[in-house]
Amino acid sequence: MSLSLPRVTTVVTDIEGTTTPIAFVKDTLFPYARARIPAFLAAHAGEPVVAGICTAAAVLGGVEASDLGAISAVFLGWMDADAKVQPLKDIQGLIWRDGYARGELHGEVFPDAAICLRAWSARGMRLAVYSSGSVLAQKLLFGTTRFGDLAALFGDFFDTGTGPKRAADSYLKIAAALRARPENIVFLSDIAEELDAAAAAGMAAVQVVRPGEGTIAGGRHPAVGSFGDIVVGQAA
């Protein structure tokens, strides 16, 4: 059963649970970064970008900026607590960038998402990402899939620097940044509360409920099992 959204000209998508298995983030990306934090700091702490991240982590974590062991422990503690703090996201992004560059990591995307994103882009739809993962992490993930470089399909990338994903104001900011009217934008996510916020901002909101992802169907928004069930724009 397909869902027709004729007014939509712009698709904004979540990643985790929506375009990408949650397991890729939880079981591949996070452990990859976690295992490499101490060695990465030891190798790169002399570089200005890494030094800046370490200083920010030291301040937040209340440890000496010169104590790399203590800073590593702060990062690992944040990972254990699933803390959404910028220095952690920044250091993870750099470690993942290395991993993708080495070919040790490849972004995972569901086949239907890859196929539809390409088709929508080819039909002139504007595509954007809104994810709690950093913009760098988003670009790396989509840039290295087995379906090729999907990052190039997206005109814009938004992370929580724009605002929390469950706040309507974040979606108003995204619409403004895209210079699009909210009613011409659809937001795709697995999380009902994020869709509530997008809908409150006037966007179309569609829940992607994938078997195997443990998605809890909210019942408040149209739901699809696959991107292939969504028809955006005027049907050809």
Q: Which range of residues in 12-20, 61-69, 151-159, 206-214 is near Mg ion by CB under 5 A?
A: 12-20
State which of residues 108, 112, 159, 190 lies at the interface with Mg ion (CB under 5 A): 190
Q: What is the DSSP letter of 161?
A: T
* Binding residue count for Mg ion, defined by CB under 5 A: 4
Nearest approach, Cβ of residue 189 and Mg ion (Å): 5
Q: Give the 3-state secondary structure of 182-225.
A: HHHEEEEECCHHHHHHHHHCCCEEEEECCCCCCCCCCCCCCEEC
The answer to whether the CB of 208 falls within 8 A of the CB of 195 is no
Scanning 31-39, 50-58, 186-194, 198-206 for contacts with Mg ion by CB under 5 A, the matching segment is: 186-194
Judged by beta carbon, residue 15 or residue 57, the one nearer Mg ion is 15
Binding mask 132-171 for Mg ion (x = CB under 5 A): ----------------------------------------
Distance, CA of 54 to CA of 30 (rounded, Å):
19
CB atoms within 10 A of CB 68: 17
By beta-carbon proximity to Mg ion, the closer residue of 19 and 72 is: 19
14 vs 159, beta carbon nearer Mg ion: 14
Angle made by CA atoms 161, 163, 169, in degrees to the nearest 5: 145
CA proximity to 204, closest of 218, 183, 224, 225: 183
For residues 207 and 204, give the distance between their C-alpha atoms in angstroms, rounded to a whole number.
Answer: 10
For Mg ion, the binding residue among 12, 16, 126, 137 (CB under 5 A) is: 16
Closest distance between Mg ion and the C-beta of residue 17, in Å? 4
Residue 36 or 210: which CB sits closer to Mg ion? 210
Choosing from 8, 13, 14, 206, the residue that interacts with Mg ion (CB under 5 A) is 14
**Segment lying near Mg ion (by CB under 5 A), choices 27-35, 161-169, 189-197, 211-219:** 189-197
**Contact window for Mg ion (CB under 5 A) among 9-17, 60-68, 82-90, 222-230:** 9-17
Distance, CA of 198 to CA of 166 (rounded, Å): 8
User: CB under 8 Å to 126, separation ≥6 — which residues?
Assistant: 9, 10, 11, 155, 156, 178, 180
- Which residues of this chain interact with Mg ion, rule CB under 5 A? 14, 16-17, 190
